[in-house]
């Protein structure tokens, strides 16, 4: 797609949702809507016609299954860049299996929409080193009950229940999430993750570690006002002097 022009298909069965995207588009230079669809059949016709650089799609619309339509069409012609915009975050994994550039959970803000347009302009795809997909997705609610993380060399995206996370440790520019008997390396900082997790359940105990409070088995003094934790699922993160008082207030 040309860097200064973006032709967009908008598909949503809700009139107000389409109007909101039109309003956002009107304030984005170089972006135009070439097809507006209120059901899956209209979307299929627009995709078959071609001429769009990207498609912003709701997932639950009247007609056939959206994913089945996309699969059918891409058997005989390339699809435009895909962005899914829906109130149903449980479809996120399947969306990224379709090589979606982004996944918006309704209601999304104009700032979040502009971020998506930026990704489309840059031609990003899941798996690129600086793309958002190898990171935890930011859109599964203010306090998500699960996180989407990459797994394996194929960068398959899988959901991990927050309730299974024992602790998170920093590894350079990455963070390693320990959940059950597995760990997942994600391209996010601990500061970003700390903002997403419930402070009643998780505590930053060190600049390089976040722990789930109900996973603490033992708190062992190691001198100089610091402590070491023993966790139920394994792991022994250190509690810094600056975080020790916060830990005491929560567990004593």
Provide the pLDDT for residue 108: 87
Check: CB of residue 222 under 8 Å from CB of residue 230: no
Whether the predicted pLDDT of 209 surpasses 50? yes
Whether the predicted pLDDT of 136 surpasses 70? no
Q: Give the CA angle between residues 28, 33, 36 to the nearest 5°.
A: 140
d(CA 197, CA 144): 8
- DSSP H helical segments within 105-178, as ranges? 110-121
pTM: 0.55
64, 92, 140 from 17: Cα distances, Å: 20, 19, 19
Q: Is 209 exposed, middle or buried (0-12, 13-18, 19+ CB in 10 A)?
A: buried
Where do the domains of the chain lie? 6-121, 146-251
Q: Quick one: what percent of the chain has pLDDT higher than 90?
A: 51
Distance of CA 237 to the CA centre of its chain: 27
Provide the pLDDT for residue 134: 38
* pLDDT band per the 50, 70, 90 thresholds, residue 10: very high
Q: Highest mean pLDDT: which of 20-34, 79-93, 135-149?
A: 20-34
The answer regarding whether domain 6-121 maps to CATH 3.40.50.2300 reads yes
Whether the predicted pLDDT of 139 surpasses 50? no
d(CA 221, CA 228): 6
Right CATH number for 146-251 from 3.30.365.10, 2.40.50.1020, 1.20.1260.120, 3.50.50.60? 2.40.50.1020
Taking Cα atoms as reference points, which of 195, 194, 197, 250 lies closest to residue 219? 250
Range from 6-10, 137-141, 176-180 carrying the lowest mean pLDDT: 137-141
Provide the pLDDT for residue 16: 94
* pLDDT tens string 103-134: 888 888 899 899 899 889 876 443 343 344 43
* pLDDT band per the 50, 70, 90 thresholds, residue 35: very high
């Amino acid at each position: 797609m040309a860097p200064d022009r973006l032709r967009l298909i908008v598909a949503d069965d809700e009139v107000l949702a389409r109007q909101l995207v039109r309003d956002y588009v009107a304030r984005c230079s170089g972006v135009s809507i070439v097809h507006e669809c209120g059901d899956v059949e209209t979307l299929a016709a627009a995709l078959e016609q071609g001429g769009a650089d990207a498609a912003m799609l709701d997932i639950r619309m009247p007609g056939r299954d959206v994913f089945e339509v996309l699969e059918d069409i891409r058997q005989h012609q390339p699809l435009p860049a895909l962005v899914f915009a829906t109130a149903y975050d449980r479809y996120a994994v399947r969306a990224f299996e379709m090589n979606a550039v982004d996944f918006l959970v309704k209601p999304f803000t104009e700032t979040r929409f502009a971020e998506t347009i930026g990704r489309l302009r840059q031609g990003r795809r899941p798996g690129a080193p600086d793309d958002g997909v190898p990171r935890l997705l930011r859109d599964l609610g203010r306090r998500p009950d699960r996180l989407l993380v990459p797994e394996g060399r194929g960068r398959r995206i899988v959901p991990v229940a927050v309730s299974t996370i024992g602790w998170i440790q920093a590894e350079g520019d990455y963070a390693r999430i320990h959940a059950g008997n597995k760990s997942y390396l994600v391209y996010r900082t601990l500061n970003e993750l700390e903002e997403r997790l419930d402070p009643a359940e998780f505590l930053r105990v060190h600049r390089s570690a976040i722990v789930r409070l109900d996973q603490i088995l033992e708190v062992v003094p190691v001198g100089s006002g610091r402590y070491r934790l023993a966790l139920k699922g394994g792991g022994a993160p250190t509690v810094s002097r600056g975080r020790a008082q916060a830990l005491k207030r929560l567990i004593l």
